[in-house]
A and B are shown apart, each in its own frame.
Chain A
């Protein structure tokens, strides 16, 4: 009699099991696994971009006015999260990260809530002259300021450029035509701007108003949180920060 399987059966009997002994042996998630959200309120500027891009409406942003500023609370409901990483991708300040913690079990709703609050000081609009910043020495500041104040005038833009061209070419040819503001908020360069309104559409605070017909670009400086989204989306690099 021939039993070809006996050897196999006996060796299998004494071999280790092929399964992961998970609850008894801890298991690590694969690299780049997107698990529980970690939120760093200190890095957050409260622009609200994550709320806007979240497909599952898992993120809520709450603003509470307090003395000298406001408390910004961001709440992530992991029970509504798709773990798509879009909020982390869109976060300019890297305040959101998806960790490799996959143990997201809840018996109560609070177990799946990640939240954080940070205090944001209300900045007074600083009416400092742009000349205080000696970034580009050749720049004629009054003109740059006038460009800031009235960026609308497309007719004025070429004229300004022509006057600008002579001193700018002497120093740095790639120097921006407009100077950045001291408070870090965006400034539009009317010479480069094509009034495509992408910055206005992408602004999470809706602080930019662009009129295509009138060729105007206006910034509501009080609403702006300096997230830099308008600068990064501008197809013509017309926004200086």
Chain B
């Protein structure tokens, strides 16, 4: 009976779980600042929770160190489906300056399907907000379609040259 309502409202109140996979703490501080009254992610429905079992979106920061890898994977498995995995900062995507280190097993994409990458070192709180909002939309899409690999067009993708020209023409008009 309420199934439709639940599906529709999923994207409006996703719960976050933050995993530090050996991060330098820069991204963690920015994630916390997103939740402070200045940026206040709770106003758009995000809520930081203490257990992965309550979460919809996992935010991973850090280059995924050897020590943290089994714990990260175990934590991510505990998040009930449909779930979204968001990487925060350059480290989980590539290893960044820790790349090729003996203690780094990243990038995270080798082990799990990552839905949204937020680049930056560390990203601006606004950028994290952008990423989380996109992740929330993807989460709603997953719930709707039941497809765990579902994705949405990225509104922040770099504009192609042809589209650039189009927008210029529009601007002229």
Q: Which residues of A contact B (CB under 8 A)?
A: 17-20, 22-23, 27, 29, 33, 35-36, 55-58, 77-84, 102-108, 110-112, 114
Contacts and interface: CB of A to CB of B under 8 A. Distances in A.
A79 B94 contact: yes
A39 B94 CA distance: 21
Given A56-B97, A57-B99, A81-B119, A111 B90 contact: no
B152 interface: yes
Contacts of B62: none
B95 interface: yes
B161 to A, nearest CB: 11
Interface string B122-166: 011111011101100010000000000001111011100000000
A112 B129 contact: no
B40 interface: yes
Interface residues of B, number: 38
B40 A19 contact: yes
Interface majority SS on A: helix, strand, loop or mixed? Answer: loop
Contact of B127 (A18, A80, A102): A102
Contacts of B120: 35, 83, 102, 104
B121 interface: yes
A20 B116 contact: no
A110 B154 CA distance: 11
Contacts of A58: 94
B38 interface: yes
A107 B121 CA distance: 18
B130 A106 contact: no
